[in-house]
Amino acid sequence: MTSSPIPDASDPFALFAAWMEDARRAEPVDPNAMTLATTTADGRPSARMVLLKDVSGGGFVFYTNTLSRKGGELAANPQVALLFHWKSLARQIRIEGTAAPVSPEEADAYYATRPRISRLGAWASDQSRPLAAREDLQARVAEMAARFPGEDIPRPPHWSGFRVTPETFEFWQDMPFRLHDRTVYGRGETGWQRWKLYP
């Protein structure tokens, strides 16, 4: 597989876009999957995989139930970390920054693109809360299907998106003998600063 053209080295978003394009060609499933790490107000960490849905407005956008565990942790502490790992490319990108809600208009627009069953599921699921039996979830989905029989399914008030505005990026490339290449970008007063780290 050939890599994307080398982007402007001063712009971490351009390098991210090039690496993501390589991942779309190489990764068989969900090249946009990323680990989202959050913490509680008292510093207890948790991490899970979510899907990157957009890169816009200077940040990385994902969607979720805001009443879920991650939603509660984001409300308590918006400082987060993202990790993209593409095993087939022997690459990873670490991002640290601050999460903030997207606008209602953005959330509505993305929600409208989701398959019908996913939109019903957003209403039916009490995400992160105990579920006695799978059949209970299926019954709630059926209840929502009866409530919203057509394609006009409004976005639930508890379902929205977050945009992570990065403060730092680290681009990691596997190299022979564990002499890996690590390039860091940090946000400075005059723009992005770039430096290398020992592997």
In the three-class reduction of DSSP (H, G, I as helix; E, B as strand; rest coil), residue 170 is classed as strand
Q: Percentage of the chain with pLDDT > 90?
A: 92
Which pLDDT tens digit goes with each residue over 146-160? Answer: 999 999 999 999 999
What tokens appear for 103 in the block?
Answer: 């606008």
Domains of the chain: 12-114+156-197 (2.30.110.10)
Q: Are 50 and 34 a contacting pair, CB within 8 Å?
A: yes
- Greatest Cα pair distance in the chain: 59
Predicted TM-score (pTM) of this structure: 0.92
- Whether residue 5 is predicted with pLDDT greater than 90 in this model: the reply is no
Q: What is the CA radius of gyration of the chain?
A: 19
Mean pLDDT for all residues in the chain: 94
Which pLDDT tens digit goes with each residue over 146-197? Answer: 999 999 999 999 999 999 999 999 999 999 999 999 999 999 888 999 999 9
Mean per-residue pLDDT, 66-93: 97
- Report the C-alpha gap between 163 and 59 in whole angstroms: 6
State residue 9's pLDDT score: 79
Q: Are 31 and 86 a contacting pair, CB within 8 Å?
A: yes
H/E element, 20: helix 12-26
